Every structure is written in C-alpha cells, then in structure tokens.
Chain A
Amino acid sequence: MKLAYWMYAGPAHIGTLRIASSFKNVHAIMHAPLGDDYFNVMRSMLERERDFTPVTASIVDRNVLARGSQEKVVENIVRKDQEERPDLIVLTPTCTSSILQEDLANFVQRASLEAKGDVLLADVNHYRVNELQAADRTLQQIVQFYTEKARKQGTLPQGKTEKPSVNIIGLTTLGFHNNHDCRELRTLMAQLGIEVNLVMPDGASVHDIQTMSRAWFNLVPYREVGGLTAEYLHTEFGMPCVNITPMGIVETARCIRAIQAVLNQQGAEVDYEGFIDEQTRFVSQAAWFSRSIDCQNLTGKRAVVFGDSTHAAAMTKILAREMGIKVVLAGTYCKYDADWFTEQVGDFCDEILVSEDNGAIADRIAQLEPAAIFGTQMERHVGKRLDIPCGVIAAPIHIQNFPVGYRPFLGYEGANQIVDLVYNSFTLGMEDHLLEFFGGHDTKEVLTATLSASDELGWSADGMAELQKIPGFVRGKVKRNTEKFAREQGIGQITAEVLYAAKEAVGA
C-alpha cells in the first residue's frame, strides 16, 4: 500500500479510452463498476466535446460479483453494435476486472460472432502499466489488428505513395495541446512538401489503418504514445521512424534533418537546409528572441522543469540551450522511461529527479527556490504557495490548458508560443530592476473606509459570525445588501436572523 494524495499519470484504462475515443466510430465498453465512467466527464468538460463520448460501461455490480458477468458483457457489446454500428468495439478492462479474472477474451470472441463490427479486448493490465503505457500499447494493438486483417483479406496496398508521405502517430484526445500540435505538424509537412498519409489515431478511421504502409516514414512526435506502433510498422514493413520531438528551434531543425535523411535514403533528394535557415532566422521569432536584449535579463536565472518525458526533456533543452537559463532541476514522472530521460537532459541541468511523488518534487522546489517553474498543474499550485511563477508544460492539466486559440508547442509556431510562456513566467525585466531598486510595489496601505464604516448600523456578534461563514468572494456583496435591507426596514442591529431575512427578501 502506498499513501498517495495525487498522481501524475492516470490508471491504465484511461489510456485505452483516450485511444479508442480518438478514432472515428470506435466505441469503448468498460468492464467497470458504477462511477468509473468518469472519463466521459473529463472529455466532455476539458475538451468541450460536442458529441457524446463513445464510451459506455458494462456495469459490474453485486450480482456480477456473485455470479460473474456471464451474458452481460456480451449483451452490452452486441447491443452497442446494433445501436451505433461502430467499426470497432474495444472492451476495456479496469482495476476491478483485473482482479475478477473473468475470461474477457472469451466474451470478446463470443460477441464478435454476433456483432457486425470488430471487437477487441484491450491488452492492458491495471497493476502493471499506467495511462501512457496503456495508450501506447492499445494504439499498437489496434494498428496490428487491422493490418493483419487487411493482409488476410488481401487488401493490404502495395508500394509507397508517389510523393514523399508520412504517418503522424500518437496524437490523441485529452493530450496536452495535441490538436494544435497536429495542425502545426501538418503545416510543417506541407512546407516540406511531404504529404500526410494518416494522422493516428486522432480523427482517423480504422479502415484507413491498412494504408499506413504506403507512407515513406512515420513521425512520432511524443515519446509516450506511438513508439510501439512505429516499431511494429518498422518490423512489418521496414518503415523508418523519426522520433525526435520538434519542440524548440534546435530540436525542430534536428527533426527536419532526420526526415531529410530518411527521405533521401529512399531517393527523394530533398534539401531542407535552406528552409531551416529561413525559418530559424527570419520567420520564427524564437531565435531572434534569444539574441534580443530582453532575453539577456533571463541569463542565469534559475528554473525547475517537471513533466512527462517529452515535454520536460524538450523544455529543459530549450531553456538551457536556447535561452541561457540555468535549469537547476529537470524531472519526469515517467519512471518506466527514466533512462531515456536521463540521457536526454543529462548535459542540460544540474540535477535529475524521476519520481511519481508530488511531495518529493514540491520539497525540492522549496529547497531550490527557482525564479520560475515549468511543470504540470501540480507544480503550478506549488508555485502559488511558494510565490514562484509557473508555466504549465505538461499533463495533468485543467480546462484552462485546453485553449480555444491556436497554441501549439511543436514546430516553429510552437517555439514562438514557448518564448511567450517562458518570458511571461519570469518577472519582466525592467519591473524586476525597479522592484529591487525601490524595494517592492506600492506599499501604501488603503485607508479609505468601506461603504458602511461610517454608518450606525451595528452587527451583532452572531450576525457577524454568520457573515464570516459566507465565502469571501461574495461576502462584501451580502454585507452591503443586508445593510441596505436593514436600513430600509429600520433595523438597527443585524443579527443572523436579519441576515437570512435579507437573503429571503432581496436574494442578497
């Protein structure tokens, strides 16, 4: 047992659901007790999704516990197949089904005899993998399933596309700024003259999977999701994979050069150096920013970085290499991938922390007292408590991290966005000097009386005590309205009863 107040990565089934609900016309059925379909709330709220989330639960209740699911799971799969005609139903195990040890594979087999669509059992174990690992695995499982199916049916297309083309793998629903990144990567590919064969899985149809082999290569922008799929495609079709995250100016260039090498090996004869130079020096603002006077003031400022492997590693490199900021600590919660992370950031920070314990990171931040933090929502709150600014760079995230406006983190526009994020997180240059010089902001105390201070109206102790129970942000309004009410009624002393009478009368 582990005492835990908070967790960075969710349980395994969340990863499977993220993949399933990214596809078009794929439905997930969770084998879970009542209340475990919280994923639907997150998707509907965080992504402000207009459509019903294609996830339902086959409820595990007391009866199931006593007799087993028996026909229930099969019935639910077949019913959903008839109601919505999905291409694929993914039966999703949860922590509960992990320990019930029912033969879900058997249910899937029986259901697939009756269902028109395909049925798959997500191959994830709650106690072994987390959300990210499960997402990676489920995507690979689905890709493999449809590739093999096409091969059996002889519909697997032969050969490559005429022009260079790419599959972009790993963009999912509820991923950190994934929809913006997707648009930015499409733009980048278009600029490089590369056709996007398929984006996986976001918005894709399972029928398209068989065409994946037609792409010249795979691009896996995030470390966490898509790696297994690219590996599978490499083994099956010898497809090369570029898995350099194009985040920050230097890494974007590195990613483009890797693409160039991969294409030229296949006889494309492309040269992207001119494009990289043009973008870096004149189109993107990030390189110019790091030379500008503003950025000088950031030199040597101390920062802490924490997040998933992809974003924490890329951010550490950007801060250290592109902005001259001292990263005193870089960390990730992707413990299962610690070696990769260590290798990536080893040269760019003083200290590495790989931990899933938010308390450990909070303590280290408090000890290090950096000038800014780049982390998850949790680090943002640590920053609030310690009065240190924080830029959010990775999941777990809240609704404000699903902006409506265009905010990619990848590519050249992404680099611009990161510049803004970093710059706004540190106290602005001149303000910083002035604060130091004059010893702080306007410190003159506010001496003006409140609206009611000069009034004769008295609050009885019980009235005051009751008023104190009202949440701070509306207390002032309630106080004013109550006093107005008391004045109108000719009441001199405001008691708790007067307070509530006022509420009843005027909705104070």
Chain B
Amino acid sequence: MAQMTMIEAIREAHDVAMAADDKVVVFGEDVGFFGGVFRCTAGLQEKYGKSRCFDAPINESGIVGTAIGMAAYGLKPVIEIQFADYVYPAYDQIVSEAARLRHRSNGDFTCPLVIRMPTGGGIFGGQTHSQSPEAIFTHVSGLKVVIPSNPRDAKGLLLAAIADPDPVIFLEPKRLYNGPFDGHHDKPIESWKKHPQGDVPEGNEIIPLGKAHIQREGADVTVLAYGTMVYVAEAAAEETGVDAEVIDLRTLMPLDLETIVESVKKTGRCVIVHEATRTSGFGAELMSLVQEACFYHLEAPMIRVTGWDTPYPHAQEWEYFPGPARVGEALRKVMED
C-alpha cells in the first residue's frame, strides 16, 4: 500500500495496465510529453514511448473516432477528454459508434475503450469546466459509466475499466483529484495522503464495475451519491446527527441495485444527491428504480438534492454546488415524515 492522491492513483493505474499489456495505448490533448493538464499521465510517454502515449490534435470526435478504429483493430485505447464539458463534439462517435458496435455487428467487431474525463464543479470552473454530464451517457445502451470518489477506487476501477471488453465512460471528479472535499470551501483542504482511502494497493488489483460501496453505515436514511457528493453527504450526516447510510454508487451503469434496495428497505427513506442539473438527471432514474423496488418500504417521499437547472455559474459557485447545508436540510426533512 502507498498513500496517493487521486491523480497519482490514476497515473499508477495507467502505468500498471501499460506494463501488463502492450495493447494499452494512451492519448488525448496534452497527455503525452506534458503528462496531462492534471498530470494524470505524467511520465508515461517517457517510460513507454511515443507510440504508446501521445499528444492528440484538439478534436474530440477525432480522438474518440480514431480510438474506436484502434479498438476495432484489437488495441485497448485509454483516452482522455480534457474536461467532460468538452465531450460533446465526440457524442456522435460515443453514442452512434462505440456504444453500438458490438450489438450492430453481432459481435463481429467490439469496442474495448476507456474514455476518461475530469468532471464536476466546486472549483470556480464556470460553465465549461464544471459540468457533470453522466446522464447523457447512462441513457445510452451499450456504455458503462464509472465515477470514483477516492484514490483507492480510482485506481481499482480504472484497471477494471481497462480490462472491460465494452466501452467505459470514466468520469473523474477533479475537485477530488488532490484531496477529499465535503463542500466546506472555507476550510483548508486535507490531502489524500492523510486519508484512509488514499491508501492504494500496489499492482493490478481491480475493483469490479457494478459494485457500490457503503461509505458510511447508518439506520435512518439511505443517501445515494457518487463523486464529490459522497463526502458532502458524509459531512451532512455528521453535522445533522441524522444516522444516514451513505452509498457511493461508484458505477452508474451497470448499477448495483441490490445494495441500494437492501439499504432503502432497511432505512425506509432515501435522499439522492448529485451535482448535475436536476431535470432528467441520473437522480430521476435512481428515484424511479427505488420507487419501483421499495414502494412499500418507503416512509417518506424521496428527495433529490442536485445542481439547479441552470448552466453552471461562476460567481454563484456555492449557491449552485449542493453543499452540506442543502444536503443536511434534506436529511432533516426526510426524517420529519
């Protein structure tokens, strides 16, 4: 075990995968010589050479489109979109091609591909450095969608994504790159180096896709969260004294419905938290699934705490970001019924 930041854990996952399999190739804007604008691919080009890790032109559709061709050839591309906010030019390639290749060719061609992208807000990123577009991927059949919340998971889930035979959208909450963040922006930031989940196992140890993690056990209410919201929910539980069970979903597709249902049946209450805008967000799917599976166990209406249905603002960062106060309010409210 070694203490790592999420950035180091992601870099390490690349390193382990590239050492184990020379079919793994890494590319994207600034990922080569420079090692990525967030340092997630630092040193890989020097270690594995330019044909394994290289810089790409600024063309997201080109990055994903060429990677699909490479995957069809038999390589295992692990590519980076610099910010999730910039994935839209590649949406056609992701939705119409990567997601459907296996199905439409009846397995004649497949697309084992990992598309990494920094996601989420809380960094004064404004409209195009803060978005959480997970719902536009969970809606697409054929894609897997993963979002880790800590260094240990980031490494294990990325290794699982690379080993996976299907295309995986790998969203990295950039707010969590250097340390956990509970939404208290006025407090100094703790580094992952002092956090138990910054303890990362050596080697090629995967964390299977499709398995949630119970971040905090509790009896009163189930909180469904992922990414940065896991720590916000944890803080809200501590601050309100509500004994919330915080589930870090880790994989949105395929979803660990079993863990969710078991928890909600135990607590009888459910709060869903995500940074993304509310309407048609992934929270709506979670709410529907819980309603279908746990209707007779629910003691109160479910509540969603999400980003507002507005573009992500700059100056109003902390009025937009669903912080511990808003989540805490939801925890109290759901306990009133």
Partners in one complex: no
B contact set with A: CB distance below 8 Å: none
